[in-house]
Amino acid sequence: MAGRTVGVIGGMGPAATVHFMSRVLALTPAVRDQDHVHLIVDNNGEVFDRNDALQGEGPSPGPILADMARGLERAGARFLVMPCNTAHAFVADVLAATSLPFVDLIDTTCDEAMAARPRRIGVLVADGCRRAGLYQTALDRRGAQALLLGDVDHEAFVALLYRIKAGDLGAEVRSGMGRLATVLIEAGAEVLIAGCTEVPLVLGSGEVAAPLVDSIDALARATITAAKGEA
């Protein structure tokens, strides 16, 4: 597939970036090596913690993300993606760093979630993404309400995320994530968004009683479309 080279601002977390790459590979209609998307990936696990920064407890990752964007442009990228939901709170630093087009994960995911025009969408998001209101704002612009976990369940969700980051993809983590998804459905969510890139590592669309929009898959599809020059 002759197309535009993708620069991936990754490492948040590293496993989520590898998962994103695998989904781009799996979702690309290809019959030979040359049909696949050209990815240049900076899988940088040293990016400062996004959640700490948004709580005022750590340095901003913005300057590092900007440096990564510039490095990917120098390496030949023609547009950028960032497979981390919470990092989109610092997207202004990325946009200011280069003149490259940027495929926005939050907007892409919300557009997919709104396909059936739901009124209430349950969103599983990390603490920083929740605090920054990324999905709340994006869904409100589209005329939908974001449903979030209550404080106790949100703390349980964050604990699960850090277990996933540590490599725990076991049955206890999977069942815990499924329970929290069910909490949002019982609260009235017509659609769910896996709004943290670790969630799809333990929760699939066939494991919950409502449509589940995977932010990684949404970004992968948009990346393929952009690489083909169709958007």
Asked if 202 contacts 92 with a C-beta cutoff of 8 angstroms, the reply is: no
Determine the Cα–Cα distance for residues 117 and 133; give it in Å rounded to an integer. 21
Question: What backbone phi and psi angles, to 5 degrees, belong to 9?
Answer: -85, 100
**pLDDT value of position 197:** 85
CATH architecture type of domain 106-215: 3-Layer(aba) Sandwich (3.40)
Q: Is the pLDDT of residue 191 over 90?
A: yes
Per-residue pLDDT tens for 89-125?
Answer: 999 999 999 999 999 999 999 999 999 999 999 999 9
When pLDDT is averaged across residues 50-54 and rounded to a whole number, the result is: 93
Query: Is 84 noted as a catalytic residue in this protein?
Result: yes
Q: Is the pLDDT of residue 1 over 50?
A: no
**pLDDT value of position 97:** 98
CA nearest to 94, candidates 80, 105, 76, 108:
80
**pLDDT value of position 229:** 87
Per DSSP, helices labelled H in the chain are 14-27, 50-54, 62-75, 91-97, 105-113, 127-132, 134-141, 151-165, 171-186, 215-227
CATH 3.40.50.1860 fits 6-104+218-227, yes or no: yes
**pLDDT value of position 77:** 97
Domain coordinates of the chain in residue numbers? 6-104+218-227, 106-215
Q: Which of 16, 196, 199, 222 is catalytic?
A: 196
Q: Which of 47, 84, 125, 147 is catalytic?
A: 84
Per-residue pLDDT tens for 116-135?
Answer: 999 999 999 999 999 999 99
**Predicted confidence band of residue 141 (pLDDT cuts 50, 70, 90):** very high
**pLDDT value of position 73:** 98
Say which amino acid occupies 157.
F
**Predicted confidence band of residue 170 (pLDDT cuts 50, 70, 90):** very high
Query: Is 110 noted as a catalytic residue in this protein?
Result: no
